[in-house]
């Protein structure tokens, strides 16, 4: 069976971004919706809602992103494209890296990077050379 090549989502990063959360690659639900953390059981948006005491889950996606960016938070993935059947990180094959160094140009106020989940954290050897603090966060995926 031939697995098709998938292309990820564009970065949600601007000049005011201070922290970028880097996932691995969007799951099937996120790709279909064209939204980061688009699976209804993913706990990313409920977690931010709890931290910021704002019900982001109830907001349309564009408003979630706006609220996030107002707080200096950006989103992207370590992989730009890959071959994968389903949504599991373990199924990612022939992954193509995003240009993570470009974050320094797009977000001159960037202060740190946070890898979201184990597969993303495998790229820490790359992000550490950018000269910023790099953290590893647990995954919020329902998997």
Q: Among residues 17, 24, 42, 49, which one is catalytic?
A: 42
- 98 part of the active site: no
**Paired residues of 80 in beta bridges:** none
The two three-digit tokens of residue 25, written as one number: 């690659």
**Active-site amino acid positions:** 42
């Amino acid at each position: 069976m031939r697995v098709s090549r998938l292309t990820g989502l564009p970065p949600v990063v601007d000049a005011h971004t201070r922290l970028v959360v880097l996932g691995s690659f969007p799951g099937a639900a996120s790709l279909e919706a064209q939204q980061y953390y688009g699976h209804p059981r993913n706990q990313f948006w409920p977690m931010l809602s709890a931290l910021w005491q704002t019900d982001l889950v109830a907001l349309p996606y564009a408003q979630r992103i706006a609220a996030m960016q107002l707080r200096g938070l950006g989103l992207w993935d370590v992989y730009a494209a890959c071959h994968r059947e389903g949504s599991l990180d373990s199924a990612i094959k022939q992954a193509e890296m995003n240009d993570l160094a470009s974050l320094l140009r797009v977000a001159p106020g960037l202060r740190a990077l946070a890898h979201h989940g184990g597969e993303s954290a495998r790229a820490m050897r790359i992000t550490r050379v950018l000269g910023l603090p790099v953290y590893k966060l647990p995954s919020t995926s329902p998997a």
